[in-house]
């Protein structure tokens, strides 16, 4: 009779451990499918007849927003893309989807030049528009898994310590 109690006492423990294992496996499979942060927008200021910063590094899919802070009209002109005239206080934004180095200049003031480095490595944090956050980021998901494991372990401890009711 005693061995019967141990076996039946082990069933809830086995069920809890199996459930925990399934949750961990499902969570680890789901991580790549979580929504990713949207593309970022980096800022370049046009001031004192210069692009500041003159060189910027972004990730593919990110954008650069040039804002004219000068009292005169400028342009942002690259190979195959151009802003047209940008008046004082106006902004022009261009998205870069492929990796590479993209030089640009002001077609009105050719001495004004800059370059956008688009690299699939890590990009610096956005200076203007922060990316939207996914529902569960990597660290949040890890925290959820750790809490789930702690809850499962607590349940196991409670079930192990619980004394089975005596049958009449």
pLDDT in tens, 3-17: 444 444 556 667 777
The dihedrals phi and psi of 76, each to the nearest 5 degrees, come to -125, 110
How much is the pLDDT for 99? 93
pLDDT in tens, 56-91: 999 998 999 999 999 999 999 999 999 999 999 999
Count the alpha carbons within 13 Å of 3 in the hemisphere toward its beta carbon: 0
**Section 106-113 average pLDDT:** 96
Reported pTM: 0.52
How much is the pLDDT for 145? 74
For 29, 55, 133, the CA distances from 62, given in Å and listed in that order, are 27, 15, 15
**3-state DSSP assignment of residue 31:** helix
Say how many C-beta atoms besides its own lie within 10 A of residue 64's C-beta. Answer: 24
Secondary structure tally for the chain: helices H, strands E: 2, 9
Q: Cα 163–165–168 angle (5° rounding)?
A: 150
Residue 141 has pLDDT above 70, yes or no: no
pLDDT in tens, 12-39: 667 777 777 777 777 666 656 655 556 7
How much is the pLDDT for 164? 66
CATH number for the domain formed by residue range(s) 41-118: 2.60.40.420
Comparing CA positions, the residue from 45, 58, 73 lying closest to residue 119 is 58
Q: Are strands 55-58 and 113-118 parallel, antiparallel or unpaired?
A: parallel
How much is the pLDDT for 129? 47
How much is the pLDDT for 87? 95
Return d(Cα 97, Cα 126) in angstroms, integer. 16
Contacts of residue 135, Cβ cutoff 8 Å, sequence gap at least 6: 34, 35
Domains of the chain, residue spans: 2-35+134-161, 41-118
How much is the pLDDT for 126? 47
**Residue 152: which pLDDT band, with cuts at 50, 70 and 90?**
confident
């Amino acid at each position: 009779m005693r061995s019967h109690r141990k076996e039946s006492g082990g069933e809830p423990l086995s069920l809890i451990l199996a459930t925990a294992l399934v949750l961990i496996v499902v969570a680890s499979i789901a991580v790549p499918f979580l929504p990713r942060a949207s593309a970022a927008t980096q800022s370049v200021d046009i001031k004192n007849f210069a692009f500041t910063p003159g060189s910027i590094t972004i990730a593919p899919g990110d954008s650069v927003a040039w804002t004219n802070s000068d009292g005169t009209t400028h342009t942002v002109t690259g190979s195959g893309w151009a802003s047209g005239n940008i008046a004082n206080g106006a902004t022009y934004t261009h998205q870069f989807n492929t990796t590479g180095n993209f030089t640009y200049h002001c077609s009105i003031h050719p001495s004004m030049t800059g370059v956008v480095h688009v690299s699939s490595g890590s990009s610096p944090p956005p200076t203007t528009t922060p990316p939207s956050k996914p529902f569960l980021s990597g660290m949040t998901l890890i925290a959820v898994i750790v809490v789930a494991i702690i809850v499962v372990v607590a349940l196991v401890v409670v079930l192990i310590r619980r004394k089975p009711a005596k049958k009449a």
